[in-house]
Structure 1
């Protein structure tokens, strides 16, 4: 007679592995886009990592939400049917969780989710990653090489439009043609990284406040870094308070250091 681990233990182990993969991918992408020498015209690694990280986190959240409601975790076929449509996945996850947070009296979590919904750059960033995640985006150049025509703009066009809007909002557009153009780009991209961090943090709080199951789920799955974020998240007028502990794990954004305080909740 062999001793087999309990199915819940097996499920938990694979959940930890998946969330670790997802957070590592997202962290790698975020760290890359704030590097001074990063070029949006060469986005393969950063866009691939961020798109995959966002997709994995959304699918995990979608699956755990179903499980928490007494339904089975989605099958492989069901997850495949969801595909790589990040905008649709966000639609399946975000509004129901916001409504659920309000209904359960989790106003803090609902406000975080609502803040993501009103972030001026999140729609453009999500559209960029959604475009890259689709086969027509990731393999756009290869498709053109085969002789097929594409009428869609490349994912970089969506990024450029979002980045341009951010530069203009921060009053940095004129600096792009000056000697400090690289510093201006880093500042704008740091603000764009913050938009993704705000989304990441909101999902993290959904987990830790028990909207997907026991609150300890986030701790047991190592969703948060054990080291506090070293004054990493800058404050801005449109930003809700961000926890000092890194949402999910592991993320260090050197360019964000010493630019403002953070608050615990």
Structure 2
């Protein structure tokens, strides 16, 4: 009796799988971080562009008006420390821009005075004078906290002082424009005749020309990082090597050649 040769059994196609390594995991994580960082910068740059578009007709970012009041002779916002010494002082005005403060008495017949001066000179002028010093400002809801200083009336009207670097006085809306400079400054609001009881609406604004270039730079960097992250993840995933798993044959089967 003769035995017929075994018939070769066709092998099923070997399953294919993609290889993966620890380095690819690291690259995907790095790409994901770049995507998150780039997306965050794009959002921040968009907010910056929106803020730039909120300037008024004169190019100022303005907050207010809000009411400030005291029964004393003056309201002060002391210790506005502006430190732009050194090489950066050449660019400080371009970065910080101008400051504008607008005040209007709640009593249209009461003339007001507003001035910015060196903190040391302002402290000498108000030495022994009853005044309220702004200690804290809450924005939402708006609330101003004051530190009272007991004392009497000023020896002279504020407009008679010569140390002010910027000032304005009179009835109706008053506007003070100040080109920011290096130094330690104080803002003073008083009745122009030095009488007690200051009650006014105040708004503060600044040109802040640095906002637009920062927003644009943030958008550019964010876009670059986002693109790099997407490319890194896509290339890492797409370039995995294809590996075929060897097929195991059952006993008695002859694998196909």
TM-score bracket relative to the smaller structure: under 0.3
TM-score by length of 2: 0.25
Greater RCO (Cα-Cα under 8 Å, separation 6 or more): 2
- Which is helix-richer, 1 or 2? 1
TM-score by length of 1: 0.24
Larger C-alpha radius of gyration, 1 or 2? 2
- Which is strand-richer, 1 or 2? 2
